[in-house]
Amino acid sequence: MHYLHTMVRVKDLDEALNFYVNILGLQEVSRRDDDKGKYTNVFLKAPGDDVQMSIRKAPLLELTYNWPASAGGEPEASASWRTGGRNFGHLAYAVDNIYEYCASLIEKGIIINRPPRDGRMAFIRSPDGISIELLQIGDALPAEEPWKSMPNTGAW
């Protein structure tokens, strides 16, 4: 047995891809439109993960976009998947330097909900409200400003 992927539903595929690819730095591996099921799946990988599609996939993030009623999809009023977390906690990614990575996210307009005060862990949220944990690779970095004094913002 091996781990395949985590699926999260997104309301706006372009907005989600902008966040996960252009801001977070993930890379698109594959995409599939399902005309019968009226949805699109986009699979993303972290830059450091090796994906050999013909043999075995590294853990992937699957974005699922359910088409709107105007494109033959489910009417908004019946889209029950949009509410509730189905006991989902968060996604987690390891980064080389948590301070530099968080600073680059702020420059791109992302709110750091739980700053890396400890030099080890931070949390942000996707446009769809998915909590994303960022962890320092290896030992925690020494605590430093402005992170050390930065308060939490919103929920994480």
Q: Which active-site residues does the annotation give?
A: 133
In angstroms, rounded to a whole number, what is the distance separating the alpha carbons of residues 33 and 30?
10
Does an H or E element contain 34, and which? strand 27-34
Distance of CA 60 to the CA centre of its chain: 11
Q: Do the Cβ atoms of 58 and 49 come closer than 8 Å?
A: yes
